[in-house]
């Protein structure tokens, strides 16, 4: 395990990445890199994108070494620490650290790993949790990849854990990489019906998509909340559209994100206070781990060892 930095950018809105004022002023992203002990040949890799709860020992800090033991390099990207927001409250992070910034970090991580001598640039996957899961799905669309990786880099596969079901794209054209979406049936932060619509969009765009709903699981089944925890603000009813120029608009009002402030106001309009619950579930975690390993194997990674029932351990 080692702390690493790599150049990224700081767009506020999705369309900002095309502006010279953004592209010409790089900042340094922060992350943690886990490498497998066996360095024989170039290894496949997974980039992990955090949720609004930040980098958690029981989640990113456990998946990293767990996957490294199975032959994968893992880069945990910390978009909040990169922008001095690691100590901000949950809601303030959603306002100040945008999906455009996390996308920039994801593709910056892809470029960084592609240049690493121990990693196969054609077998780099991206996985994300909640907010990061939403970004992971956005990265599967060709227009997003083209905007954020004009150099041609693309992910080998996309894995979303309980990703927010907020944006749909007018143009569903996908990169063609496979997608795995895993959701909790009791998760009131995600609209399962809309997630199926997003999956269908990607299928129409040319991506093979598998969507799995664990009926008895709440949000964040892989963290360390062993008693049900209530979170006040829910994104369940948030619906945004992304046009072909990467402008985001409110589906109901048709109003477009034009600044950090308008983005915050339009999100606030659709966010509700019905809240949602977080609860760890070892059985769901066992099953999602199994699906993760199967997906990575199916996506062109090295053969993985037989699943041994290991689940992430709760943080001390």
Looking at the predicted structure, is the pLDDT value of residue 263 above 90? yes
pLDDT tens readout for residues 198-247 = 999 999 999 999 999 999 999 999 989 999 999 998 999 999 999 999 99
pLDDT tens readout for residues 83-108 = 988 777 767 777 889 999 999 999 99
Domain assignment present for 162? yes
Task: Please provide the average confidence, as pLDDT, over all residues in the chain.
Answer: 91
Looking at the predicted structure, is the pLDDT value of residue 304 above 50? no
Alpha-carbon dihedral angle through residues 307, 308, 312, 316, given to the nearest 10 degrees: -170
Of 61-70, 93-102, 162-171, 219-228, the range with the lowest mean pLDDT is: 93-102
Q: Are 147 and 246 in contact (CB under 8 A)?
A: yes
Give how far Cα 221 sits from Cα of 81, 122, 208, 233, Å: 24, 30, 25, 18
Q: What is the pLDDT of residue 298?
A: 56
Q: What is the pLDDT of residue 39?
A: 61
Domain assignment present for 46? yes
Task: Indicate the number of domains in the chain.
Answer: 1
Mean pLDDT of the region 59-68: 94
Domain assignment present for 190? yes
pLDDT tens readout for residues 274-296 = 899 999 999 999 999 999 999 99
Q: Are 304 and 52 in contact (CB under 8 A)?
A: no
Domain assignment present for 306? no
Domain assignment present for 313? no
Domain assignment present for 308? no
Q: What is the pLDDT of residue 88?
A: 74
Domain assignment present for 315? no
Looking at the predicted structure, is the pLDDT value of residue 24 above 60? yes
Q: What is the pLDDT of residue 53?
A: 85
Q: Tell me which residue range forms the domain holding 154.
A: 2-298
More confident residue, 33 or 313: 33
Q: How confident is the model at residue 52 (pLDDT cuts 50, 70, 90)?
A: confident
pLDDT tens readout for residues 104-127 = 999 999 999 999 999 999 999 999
CATH code of residue 97:
3.40.50.1820
Domain assignment present for 7? yes
pLDDT cut 70: percent of the chain above it:
93
Looking at the predicted structure, is the pLDDT value of residue 308 above 60? no
> For residue 157, what are its two tokens?
């596969």
Q: Whole-model pTM? A: 0.92
Looking at the predicted structure, is the pLDDT value of residue 174 above 80? yes
């Amino acid at each position: 395990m080692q702390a690493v930095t790599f150049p990224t950018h700081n767009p506020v809105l999705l369309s900002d990445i095309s502006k010279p004022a953004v592209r010409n002023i790089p900042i340094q992203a922060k992350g943690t890199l886990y490498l497998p002990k066996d360095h024989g040949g170039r290894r496949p890799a997974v980039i992990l994108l955090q949720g609004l709860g930040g980098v958690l020992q029981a989640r990113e800090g456990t998946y990293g070494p767990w996957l490294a033991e199975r032959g994968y390099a893992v880069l945990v990207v910390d978009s909040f620490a990169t922008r001095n927001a690691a100590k901000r409250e949950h809601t303030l992070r959603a306002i100040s650290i945008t999906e455009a910034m996390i996308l920039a970090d994801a593709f910056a991580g892809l470029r960084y790993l592609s240049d690493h001598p121990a990693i196969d640039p054609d077998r780099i996957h991206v996985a994300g949790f909640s907010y990061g899961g939403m970004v992971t799905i956005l990265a599967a669309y060709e227009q997003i990849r083209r905007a954020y990786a004009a150099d041609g880099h693309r992910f080998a596969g996309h894995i979303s854990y309980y990703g927010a079901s907020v944006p749909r794209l007018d143009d569903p054209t996908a990169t063609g990489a496979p997608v795995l979406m895993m959701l909790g049936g009791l998760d009131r932060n995600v609209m399962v019906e809309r997630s199926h619509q997003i999956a269908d969009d990607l299928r129409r765009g040319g991506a093979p998509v598998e969507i799995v709903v664990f009926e008895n699981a709440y949000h964040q089944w892989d963290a360390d909340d062993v008693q049900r925890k209530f979170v006040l603000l829910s994104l369940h009813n948030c619906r945004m559209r992304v046009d072909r120029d990467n402008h985001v608009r409110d589906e109901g009002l048709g109003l477009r994100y034009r600044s950090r402030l308008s983005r915050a106001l339009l999100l606030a309009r659709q966010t509700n206070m019905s809240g949602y619950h977080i609860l760890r579930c070892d059985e769901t975690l066992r099953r999602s781990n199994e699906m993760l390993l199967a997906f990575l194997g199916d996506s062109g990674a090295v053969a993985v060892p037989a699943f041994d029932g290991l689940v992430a351990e709760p943080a001390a």
